[in-house]
Amino acid sequence: MKKVLLMAALALQSSGCAMIVSNAASGFSDNLSRAVLNQDDPELVRDGIPTLLLTMDSFIEGSPDDPQLLSAGATLYATYGAAFAEDEIRASRLTARARRYALHAMCVSYEPSCGWPGASYDEFVATLNGIGKNKADLLYTYGFASLAFLRAQTSQVDSLAELPHMEALFDHYLNISGDEVNSSVYTYMGIMLTLLPPSLGGEPERAREHFEKAIAESGGADLGAKVEYARGYAKLLYERELHDRLLNEVLEADPNQKGFVLTNVMAQEEAATLLAEADDYF
């Protein structure tokens, strides 16, 4: 099953991917990001990203402590693993590399983050207070890569134990980002709160608020937020009417919204699949 909304806006809209090679090449990377986001053929993107992944690996080999390169590499690997990997093992492998890159980008920029692996919730939260707006993009990338990894590991109980850490991370990101906040964060928050059923700690009503915020923040242009709302909230709570309404709205919408074309096309494909399966589920 495609995990469409983890690549909502592909995180390529964040400035972390605006430096794929160096400042000198930022124009190229900006154009590349826009071209990917506005591509209406997901298969073309799926086939093309692996070449970019290998290219990125080579750049990082040459500059292993460059936080911008590491962040860009993390974004590409997390995007590909979350959106296009067809099995859990491969998705886990790709998103694990994404998380390693993102952690190293944070570590070389903010030393207390080097201890995040294995940190308790209180230890993790204590380190967030030292992260200001100038590191918001790196923090966002680490959160994106981590959520992609954790979602690929939903069968692993230890991974789910990290969800409170990620919620605290995105809360802090929202606090420090100001007007430059990436609205996809609200979708990510909704996803986190619905990875578990309520009986095991999931919080669907809070998730609903985040999904609706994501839709509002994009002015409805990001169709993927509605797909995740339908899948994560309506399906989880067996709300068939809401589920079908959201998905039909996605199918009836014009996907050609600047910056969301690719994710909207994929969202419509996923919406059609979910609707076709609905009678068997509800």
pLDDT tens for 138-151 read 999 999 999 889 88
User: Looking at 20-24, 51-55, 100-104, 258-262, which range is the least confident one?
Assistant: 20-24
- Please say if the pLDDT value at position 26 is more than 70: no
Q: What is this structure's pTM? A: 0.83
What pLDDT is attached to residue 5?
Answer: 46
Q: How far is CA 260 from the centre of its chain?
A: 14
Q: What is the DSSP letter of 1?
A: -
- Please say if the pLDDT value at position 238 is more than 80: yes
Task: Please give the mean pLDDT across all residues of the chain.
Answer: 85
Residue 17: pLDDT band (50, 70, 90) is very low
Q: Which residue has the higher pLDDT, 196 or 66?
A: 66
What pLDDT is attached to residue 216?
Answer: 93
> Which residues make Cβ contacts (< 8 Å) with residue 104, sequence separation at least 6?
64, 65, 70
By the 8 A CB rule, do 138 and 71 touch? yes
What pLDDT is attached to residue 20?
Answer: 46
User: Looking at 22-26, 68-72, 105-109, 214-218, which range is the least confident one?
Assistant: 22-26
What pLDDT is attached to residue 18?
Answer: 42
pLDDT tens for 72-124 read 889 889 988 988 888 888 999 999 999 999 999 999 999 999 999 989 999 99
Q: In angstroms, rounded to a whole number, what is the distance separating the alpha carbons of residues 8 and 210?
A: 14
pLDDT tens for 161-205 read 888 999 999 999 999 987 767 778 899 899 889 887 888 788 999
SS3 246: helix
Q: How far is CA 21 from the centre of its chain?
A: 22
- Please say if the pLDDT value at position 210 is more than 80: yes
Q: Which residue has the higher pLDDT, 69 or 2?
A: 69
67 CB-contact burial (10 Å; exposed 0-12 / middle 13-18 / buried 19+) = buried
Residue 23: pLDDT band (50, 70, 90) is low
101 HSE (CA, 13 A, CB side): 33
Buried b (16+ CB within 10 A) or exposed e, 146-185: bbbbbbbbeeeeebbebbebbbebbebbbebbeeebbbbb
Share of the chain above pLDDT 70, in %: 85
29: amino acid identity, one letter: S
Residue 25: pLDDT band (50, 70, 90) is very low
Q: In angstroms, rounded to a whole number, what is the distance separating the alpha carbons of residues 30 and 17?
A: 8
What pLDDT is attached to residue 19?
Answer: 44
What is the residue whose two structure tokens read 């590991």? Answer: 153
**Other C-beta atoms lying within 10 Å of the C-beta of residue 107:** 19
What pLDDT is attached to residue 278?
Answer: 95
Strand runs labelled E in the chain:
none
47 HSE (CA, 13 A, CB side): 5
How large is the average pLDDT for residues 16-39? 55
> How far apart, in Å, do the first and last CA atoms of the chain sit?
18
